[in-house]
Structure 1
């Protein structure tokens, strides 16, 4: 049917040719529209609907671009054992483990729409909007052999292998391009690869609830920062060092985590107690209040954090000074 729910017919002039879609947008956009459609109901297609699929395709492609860019020259020498990974990496791998089970089940049941929906949400919400955002600083600014950076890279490598093979039956041309871009002539076509098997250890992470709480705290902090940004009081989240008031459960979840990294701020103060009346909060998240305080010090010209340790004329923080030396 067309976008208005009318049956396509030549007399109405509302027929959209699949070949024209392929010629204009490429075959993968047409394939994405097919899996993105709920075939249990009337299936509609229009330029507006296709624009939505193009936007989704762009977001997935940006996820893949980030993975490729940050896995350049990755080797097995960088691998960090699972038990030595930071909590955030274990949390993401646990997400990957659960998603692997869903994807396999959905493919076995020919539920391609669910494969598309689940992988799309993982790419957009869990990776681009959260994990990638949090780990950019470590990936870009830590030394190449730091354990934190190697932990992030080995996690990205796992994510790349799973997502690439999951999406290959759907975005067959794009994933062939992505696969060959990373491995060049060293491996055969991605369409000859089997799905990777997620290790059982990834499914035994007992800190899932903890990280869901941490994400909630981050959401409140981000909301408070966004208000300051809209008021043109700040330009970047790195210009602030917020004070975060937490109830007991949220405080215990955040107490052993580098929350300034999670919230992408130059510093952060975590307090177990009731927030002041003028603190920022979100009604749907209990036990979290935030006061925004400007970060003190000078701006590091390499990582852009504002820290007291940054001293002119070098204008870089201790970490960056050690890396560049």
Structure 2
């Protein structure tokens, strides 16, 4: 996935930034004001209308897909648009799945599910694409190379489940993969909307991150905030890098060379946080704070001389 597509995908989710942040995207404020300024920023969603499932009509399904995912229904395809969910699901499969997914186990499953409600079907297709993308960046290979053999890797599949928080419908897809490709069932955690940050409280001792935190303290940021809230964000980013990218998997979080972190990594992390927000794992305010914490970390490390390039300049 190139940077332009990353930016497009982020915009599709409907997250917008305040004018204050846009005006300061390329000029980080004085570090002393960091604690107050970033806590006031929050990712915002655009209005998407009323999607009460009890009153869901064909027009509302299209409005939902268009507003949330920037899908444009072909105007000339009036015949399909009058055929209910099966027609819309067929269109979703043709335009959204074909050419993106090549694993037979997923294609067969999505083919069999074309008769369900369109909103549920789209949720499954999005999750299937999320699965493929996870394997793609984890293995460092093209999505065309991700077939049943790759999906049968229990270790990678388990890591994906732990990060993706599947809902009831999406869990069925995972069970289908386990049934077809694995010898026994795979562990599925219970879906929760009260996810704790405890998983990110592992102590980290990364040299450049430590230098950044010391700089924050010297500039007047409270130690409680630095070693509490901000350090959680830094730990989350480091462990996420190691979990998701093949080039960091054999490296301790404390030893990850941040000079190898690219703009694409930062954009992928932003997308990951947005998925957590849409799934209800974290609030939009929390994921906004996490992203800005990491953006400021990388920008400040450049100013301190720890990084050769400021990769945050074009990432708002």
TM-score, normalised on structure 1?
0.25
Q: Higher relative contact order by CA 8 Å / sep ≥ 6: 1 or 2?
A: 2
TM-score, normalised on structure 2?
0.25
- Name which one, 1 or 2, has greater alpha-carbon Rg: 1
Choose between structure 1 and 2: higher helix proportion: 2
